């Protein structure tokens, strides 16, 4: 095998991947935002005292975890227009983002649900006994404690999502991987191009990992103890 280093460096330092990288990041953030919103809804439904809502959550979970995400992506882009007689005909970027978000929402439902049930029911009881409405008890007391459990796996999902966006090459969304495939299908430098593609993904993953660490540190932040009171205590 010959490694064509000039083709490699040319591809690495060309500006070709800048816009696709931004596209990949954009899809990741929008799809995750959608997934987190769906996840909150799904988790609340899964824990609801109404059976119909619990069933709905179960059905959502079962369906989206059971069908391969690539099938869902192609469905949203290619099958939906046919199914609706072109009434719904989404651009690839939007169809793909929706498909990824909906699918990820199922996983976020599980993550948020386990976060919520990790909080001692006594916390909610105490909040209710103090006169908080259900919504306020959730927002002020249960959710802040659940977030400590929800945030770390959500960070991992973010990073997984970043890589999953590469599946959108199947519907020709101009993200990093499909941009790479376009290049190597012309110059046949498969290895050099995939190497560059990998470097881009690694860089973005590193960026998200740094972000994740920062956010986790903030939420794990323990006592901001009033120093005056501390001094009094030990003084």
Shortest Cβ distance from residue 116 to another protein (Å)? Answer: 14
**How many amino acids of this chain bind another protein (CB under 8 A)?**
26
Helix 18-46 to helix 51-66 angle (10° resolution) is: 150
Shortest Cβ distance from residue 44 to another protein (Å)? Answer: 15
Cβ proximity to another protein: between 214 and 222 the closer is: 222
Question: Which of 22, 10, 7, 8 is closest to 176 using CA atoms?
Answer: 22
How far apart CA 78 and CA 87 sit, in angstroms, is 13
Among 6-14, 85-93, 126-134, 149-157, the segment contacting another protein (CB under 8 A): 126-134
How far apart CA 16 and CA 177 sit, in angstroms, is 12
Q: Quick one: how far is CA 126 from the chain centroid? A: 33
**CB 184 within 8 Å of CB 193:** yes
HSE-CB for 178 with a 13 A CA cutoff: 18
**CB 112 within 8 Å of CB 146:** yes
Shortest Cβ distance from residue 217 to another protein (Å)? Answer: 16
Q: Is residue 15 near another protein by the rule CB under 8 A?
A: no
Q: Is residue 50 near another protein by the rule CB under 8 A?
A: no
Per CB under 8 A, contacts with another protein among 137-166 are 140-141, 144-145
Cβ proximity to another protein: between 2 and 221 the closer is: 221
Q: Is residue 85 near another protein by the rule CB under 8 A?
A: no
Cβ proximity to another protein: between 186 and 222 the closer is: 222
Q: Is residue 129 near another protein by the rule CB under 8 A?
A: yes
Sign of the Cα torsion 51, 58, 216, 168 reads: negative
Tell me, residue by residue from 203 to 222, as one string, x for binding to another protein by CB under 8 A and - for no binding. Answer: -------------------x
How far apart CA 159 and CA 17 sit, in angstroms, is 19
Q: Is residue 117 near another protein by the rule CB under 8 A?
A: no
Q: Is residue 168 near another protein by the rule CB under 8 A?
A: no
**CB 146 within 8 Å of CB 116:** yes
Cβ proximity to another protein: between 2 and 228 the closer is: 228
**CB 100 within 8 Å of CB 38:** no
Q: Which residues of this chain interact with another protein, rule CB under 8 A? A: 120, 122-123, 125-134, 136, 140-141, 144-145, 222-223, 225-226, 229-230, 232-233
């Amino acid at each position: 095998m010959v490694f064509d280093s000039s083709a490699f460096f040319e591809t690495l330092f060309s500006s070709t991947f800048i816009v696709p990288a931004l596209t990949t990041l954009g899809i990741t953030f929008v799809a995750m935002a959608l997934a987190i919103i769906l996840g909150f809804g799904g988790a609340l439904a899964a824990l609801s005292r109404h059976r119909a809502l619990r069933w709905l959550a179960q059905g959502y979970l079962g369906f989206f975890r059971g069908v391969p995400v690539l099938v869902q992506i192609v469905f949203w882009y290619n099958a939906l227009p046919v199914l609706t007689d072109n009434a719904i005909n989404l651009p690839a970027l939007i169809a793909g983002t929706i498909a990824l978000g909906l699918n990820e929402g199922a996983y976020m439902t599980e993550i948020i649900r386990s976060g919520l049930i990790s909080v001692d029911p006594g916390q909610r009881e105490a909040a209710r006994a103090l006169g908080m409405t259900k919504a306020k008890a959730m927002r002020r007391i249960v959710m802040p404690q659940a977030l400590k459990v929800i945030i770390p796996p959500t960070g991992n999902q973010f990073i997984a999502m970043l890589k999953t966006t590469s599946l959108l090459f199947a519907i020709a969304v101009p993200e990093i991987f499909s941009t790479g495939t376009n290049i190597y299908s012309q110059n046949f430098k498969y290895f050099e191009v995939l190497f560059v593609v990998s470097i881009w993904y690694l860089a973005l993953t590193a960026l998200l990992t740094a972000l994740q660490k920062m956010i986790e540190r903030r939420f794990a932040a323990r006592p901001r103890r009033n120093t005056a009171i501390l001094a009094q205590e030990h003084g």
